[in-house]
Amino acid sequence: MIPSEKVYEIIEKIDILEVVSRYVKLRKTGRNYKGLCPFHPERTPSFFVNSEKQIFHCFGCGTGGNVLSFLMKIENASFAEAVMLAAEMAGIQIQVSGYSDQADARKKIVFEANKIAMKFFKMSLESSQGNVAVDFLEKRGIGQLYREKFAIGYAPARNSLVDYINANNLAIGDFEQAGLVIKKETGYTDLFRHRVIIPIFDHRNNICGFGARAIEDQQQPKYLNTPENYVFKKGNLFYGLNWAKERIKSSGFAIIVEGYFDLIKMHMAGFENTIAPLGTALTENHMRLLKRWTDKILLVFDSDSAGTAAAFRSLETILAGGFEVKIGVMPSGFDPEDFLDNYGNEALKKLLNQSKDVVDFAFQIGSQKHSIDNPKGRAVLIEEILGLIKHIPDDIERSIRIGQLAKITGVSEGILAQQLKDIPEKETSQSFTQLSNQQVQSYAENYAEKTLIKILLRQPSWADEIKPYLNLLPETISKVVEHCTNNEISGKKISKILNQFNPEISGFLTQAIFGENDPENIDITRKEFYDCVKVLCKKAFENRRRKLQEIIKQKTESGQPCDKELEELQFCINQANVKNLESILSRQERSVDVKNGEKE
């Protein structure tokens, strides 16, 4: 566990503006800084950072919090991992005893199992039974130096890993959690057999899983990955990012290829800013991760139909992430590994220097699918390219891309711009008219809770006025009232308490803080304040009423007396129907503690 005092020390020392700027391009606007939100696609910046209060908030997706909240979201990290990362950034030494939650403990188990397995696979490669794998790698030009750099190993043909685990009295369940062994009726078996093993690290050098390449032609599948688990999520990982991240930062761009061996050969050839997804399309999480080091991508894919289709799919995600992208297309029949083997480094460098712009690439590829000699085929192709351009968040860049498309196709910019507007946005939320009565009621109660929090942040002196009702109000309100009373919501102090709330409430708190200088009518605000308290008090009595009805039903069915519950039920029904707060307060002497269900 990490002591709360140490967490507060880290929050106090680290500057959220400096941390966020590592991931997001920000520009000053008044007292705040703003930029494009890294957590959802957007064209107009709605993401704000306040250095004075050390908080952030996105008015587009509602995400908000302090520096730890940001790191948890952007790094897909647990609270403890975010604290450790922030401590490292702040130059603070921190000792952790145990784990802050179950998720951290499970991750640790998988990381440790993978570390032991990697050691075993490397030993197997260096043994006599690994000769077949060494020959396979040598034929591909991967010598000992690079086998060691990339920690390549070998999984023998038998249940060798299971035997190793048992011989060393290791907990085989840990390796099952890591996906390295499979439990069957006859016992455990190895997942990987007679394969070259490639460890997959995250950008912090944790071993998250493995990729396994078949050695024999008849083996299927050709590539086999660790199953998805607590730490191995293909949509969150780039192969090679742990080695490439600093070179990506210094060179200003990342090269993305398709396969493990493409990446290894690219690094061997000096293209050390190369990374690769794990056999899956690029995701928003990939883009958020990569934004930490660059906003420029050179996409290198095979020229076959599968490769170009994968490139086209990836472009949507890349453009939506606000990246500048060029595409390097390999000659027919070649992938980067083959091209390097046949033509060498300089030839590949020359080829990549001729990489295509996104619009040129899309038109070239689309021309192979559609007959652009007739108007219909040309129109379909233009519609596809406009669909790509629609993903670009920046209005100016989209206008430039429309200009490029107009020159290539001969269609006027005005028509293309209008066609772009007509492309519908993806549905992102359910309309309010589709909500059920129960959902509407829940919405109203949620709104009341958030509105009450917002008012308390603006008028902390009013906190004393609702203390008599705290036993009826949600725990979140009680926490806010406590912080208001202790004068802990001003300046940087607010940043320290945000981690006590769930992400939704934390986001609402930061929204309220960013809007605290908006003009307001005190009389209207005070009426709204008490209306919200009344709604939440009634909600408490409604919740207790439902619980009492269940108890009464159970007791009636079993023949037990329930006079006490019936009396309390009538009281809750009356309280839920009162017109004003004073009536609720005046009856508190005979009320129940609705949180615990006991008489006061």
d(C-alpha 413, C-alpha 401), whole Å: 10
- Edge-to-edge, what's the strand order for the sheet holding 55-58? 27-29, 32-35, 47-50, 55-58, 64-65
CB 522 within 8 A of CB 511: no
CA atoms within 13 A on the CB side of 25: 9
How long is the chain?
Answer: 600
Report CA torsion sign: 463, 469, 471, 477: negative
CA–CA dist 57, 511 (Å, integer): 6
Pairing, β 296-301 against β 254-256: parallel
Predicted local confidence at residue 529, as pLDDT: 85
pLDDT of 470 reads 84
- pLDDT reported for residue 518: 60
The whole-number pLDDT of residue 464 equals 87
**Which residues, 6+ apart, have CB-to-CB distance to 341 below 8 Å?**
141, 265
Helices 4-13 and 79-90, axial angle in degrees (round to 10):
50
Angle at 572 between CA 567 and CA 573, to 5 degrees: 100
Q: Looking at residue 563, what is its pLDDT? A: 85
| Strand ranges, E, within 121-194 | 153-155, 181-184, 187-190
For the stretch 396-452, pLDDT in tens is 899 999 999 999 999 999 999 999 998 876 543 333 334 344 444 555 567 788 788
User: Checking DSSP bridges between strand 55-58 and strand 64-65, what pairing results, if any?
Assistant: antiparallel
CB atoms closer than 10 angstroms to residue 18: 12
> 598, exposed or middle or buried, with CB in 10 Å at 0-12, 13-18, 19+?
exposed
Q: What 3-state DSSP class applies to 276?
A: strand
CA 429, CA 157: separation in Å to the nearest integer? 51
Pairing of strands 274-277, 324-329: unpaired
Q: Phi, psi at residue 378, to the nearest 5°? A: -65, -40
* pLDDT under 50: residue ranges of the chain: 98-99, 427-440, 586-593, 596-600
pLDDT in tens, 282-331: 998 899 889 889 989 999 987 666 667 777 788 999 998 889 999 998 88
For residue 266, the model assigns a pLDDT of 97
